[in-house]
Amino acid sequence: MVTPLAPPRSIGAFLRAEPGRFYEWVMGQPSRLAGFCLVSIVIGAGSYGAATGYWRNPTQALYTGIKLPLVMLLTTLGNGLLNGLLAPLLGLNATFRQTFTVVLMSFAITSIVLGALSPVAWFIVWNAPPLTGRTNIASPEYAMLQLTLAVFVALAGVIGNVRLIPLLRQWAGSGSVARHVLLAWLMGNLFLGSQISWVLRPFIWDANRPVEFIGQDCFQGSFFETVFEAARRVIFL
């Protein structure tokens, strides 16, 4: 019998936790753990978003600071049912609430890493010349900024997901089940998360439009159509 434990009281305790401790948290009081994760996502991803949006102006910083945590939370909510269905189908004995909490935990770790990197992101943004005059979307400065910010998000995402593997492995009692479950969740979250990001754009700077929370053409097109079109242009010139 696993004794329920109080949820993590500090970020340090949360990040250092062993898989067994994570399991006890998920089993013991998932709602309180979810609350901790929620706060981590709002503060961590919010501060990173604010740093990113600050390149344009403080209003954009506020909007991006709200939108980035929103992407994570909407992705978790939107895929909650699917993730909860996929887990038992792939061999993991977990309830909907538990899978929801585990996915939220992964996003919380990602957000904490992003929050820790937000001073660095802010410094990079502060050093980037504004998107006016000489600097434009084709400038290497813009590419450098985009690349650095994207690398940070990718790094945080990888860390957030890699931290789940030992927990899932112990939980499922099988490495292959853990990998399959994680891969399935990842694919679902990436698919939905990309489109939610597309709808909530712009995050950095849309030079053709004034500062706004969500662009007027938010539901026009999709992330994947744009990627496909860009690939088609590159391949067929």
Count of residues near other proteins by CB under 8 A: 49
Residue corresponding to tokens 């990001």 = 197
**Residue 123 in contact with other proteins, rule: CB under 8 A:** yes
Among 33, 38, 41, 112, binds other proteins (CB under 8 A): 112
Stretch that binds other proteins, among 33-41, 91-99, 204-212, 216-224 (CB under 8 A): 91-99
Instruction: Decide if 215 contacts 201 (C-beta within 8 A).
Output: yes
CB closer to other proteins, 182 vs 200: 182
CB closer to other proteins, 34 vs 90: 90
Q: What is the DSSP string of 74-116?
A: HHHHHTHHHHHHHHHHTT----HHHHHHHHHHHHHHHHHHHHH
State the nearest-atom distance from the C-beta of 220 to other proteins, in Å: 33
Mark 92-111 with x for binding to other proteins (rule: CB under 8 A) and - for no binding: xx-x-------------x--
Mark 18-47 with x for binding to other proteins (rule: CB under 8 A) and - for no binding: xxxx-xx-----------------------
Among 6, 77, 89, 154, binds other proteins (CB under 8 A): 89
- Rounded Cα distance between 33 and 226, Å, is 37
- Rounded Cα distance between 170 and 129, Å, is 48
Task: Give the tokens for residue 128.
Answer: 């980037």
Among 126, 219, 224, 228, binds other proteins (CB under 8 A): 126
- Rounded Cα distance between 185 and 99, Å, is 10
The full 3-state SS of 176-234, as one line of letters, equals HHHHHHHHHHHHHHHHHHHHHHHHCCCCCCCCCCCCCCCCCCCCCCCHHHHHHHHHHHH
Residues 155-214 that bind other proteins (CB under 8 A): 155, 159, 163, 170-174, 177
Vertex 9, ends 76 and 78: CA angle to 5°?
5
Among 4, 35, 58, 129, binds other proteins (CB under 8 A): 129
Stretch that binds other proteins, among 15-23, 60-68, 185-193, 229-237 (CB under 8 A): 15-23
Q: How many CA atoms lie within 13 A of 53 on its CB side?
A: 23
User: Which positions lie near other proteins, rule CB under 8 A?
Assistant: 2-3, 5, 11-12, 15-21, 23-24, 88-89, 91-93, 95, 109, 112-113, 115-120, 122-124, 126-130, 140-141, 144, 155, 159, 163, 170-174, 177
